[in-house]
Structures are given as structure tokens and as C-alpha cells.
Amino acid sequence: MSDIFSLKGKKGLVVGIANDQSIAYGCARACREQGADLAITYLNEKSSKYVGPLAEALGAELYLPCDVVVDGQLEAVFEQITAKWGKLDFLLHSIAFAPMEDLHGRVVDCSSNGFSMAMDISCHSFIRMGKLAEPLMTDGGSLMTVSYYGGRKVVEHYNMMGPVKAALEMSVKYMAAELGPKGIRVNAISPGPLKTRAASGISHFDELLEQAAARAPQHHLVGIEDCGSVAAFLAGDGSKTITGTTMFVDGGYHIVG
């Protein structure tokens, strides 16, 4: 029997590594440890000085710029993957953004432009990636994104990202239904609060961390390695019948939060 947890021979794209504390990095590292070949993206030249050494350590076969708001840049990533590999087995989308003034205010006060930008970068970009990945996943595949509990229940100070993550999780379900006949699975990973660069933009975040650790049944915070273990499982053949779901990696916080 083949090792259903091995990713040897599988090709994966990871979008969203900012530094060595990123959820995306934990996921990329776990997938690489299971034998996957990786394509890694970076946002811009400023971020490349942090991401480049990580991509090199991961033995990334492709290292490409990807700012989803720059016309043609996302498409160029998939063109390079097509030229290099001719296929794609899994994809991890771990990007989110909201203008600070909108993120720190009430949902009812957020601007139209700010909300549209947050939806485009944090949600619609995953849909775009799914469309571009579809023709490369001729033997099936796995599309993954990163969500948060604040998309299901009101979490103080999470504000406008709550509706955005709710839209992302519902997009997962519709994409899973549409791509399922082709053997393409679509799932979200929902970690408990983590000290990442993106999370630092949320006001009172340290309080959120303390509350999560206190209330979660396991009484401790999760790490990027925990997210990585779930991502590696979802990327592999062992998860071939799991689709359209949100996998919580939060020490059980979602059952009591």
C-alpha cells in the first residue's frame, strides 16, 4: 500500500509567506517535509529579503513575485508553473488585507473602497487562483485557504474581516461543489489566533490571544507547525474525500468560543 501521507512527486504552490512566522511558511515547510516540490511567491522586493532565504531553504523550484492587485502578475505565476511542471497538485492561499482605518473601525463605518479591497485581496483572489489551477489539476488536486473563527461568530476587534472571512468560507463551499466532479477538493484551514505579521494589525490582539488560550479546551495556543500538519494532510491522497469544509486548528476553541 502506498503511503497516503507522502507528498513525494506532488507539485504545490504556496502564496502568502511573509516571514518565518507566517502560517503559509508553516504549511510550506510541512508539505516539503513530506516530499512535495514547491513554488513559492513573494509580495514585492521589500518582502523578498525575508521570503527569499525561506524559499531557498525549502528548495523551492519556482520563486515568483505575486501581488494579486497587480494586473497579470497572478496569471504569470501560473504560466511559469505550466512551463515548469505542466501540472499542479495543491495550492495554499494565505493572504488577507484590509486598510487599517477600515479594519480598526466598526463594520457599519467601513468605506466602500476599503471593503471592496479587502474582499478582492482576501477572498476573490482565492477564486481567481482556483480558476487558474483548474486546468492544471487534470488528475484532481487540493485547493486550500486560511480562514478564522471571526468569520462565523462575532469576535471583538476583528471587525470588517469577519464578513470577509465569512465570504471566503462560503466561496470554499461553492468552489468545492463546482470542482468536485473533476476530483478537485477545496477546503479552509481555520487556526486559532497566532502571532503573525497580518494579525498584528488587529487592535487588542494580545487580549485575543490570552482569551483564546484561557477558553480553548486544550488551554494553549496553536503554532504554524500545527497548521502545517493539517495543510500537508489536505494536500495528500489521504484527504481525497474531504472537501467543502473548514478544518479548525484551534485547540477546540470553536466549540466554546
Active site residues: 148, 158
Q: Which residue has the cell 508539505?
A: 31
Contact 120, 69 (CB under 8 A): yes
In the chain the beta strands, taken as DSSP E runs, fall at: 11-15, 37-42, 62-65, 90-93, 141-146, 184-191, 246-249
- Vertex 104 angle, CA 99 and 106, to 5°: 110
Q: Which residue has the cell 513575485?
A: 65
Q: At what angle do helices 161-179 and 112-119 cross, to 10 degrees?
A: 40
Question: Dihedrals φ, ψ of 97, to 5°?
Answer: -160, 145
Question: Which among 45, 46, 63, 65 has a CA at the least distance from the CA of 54?
Answer: 63
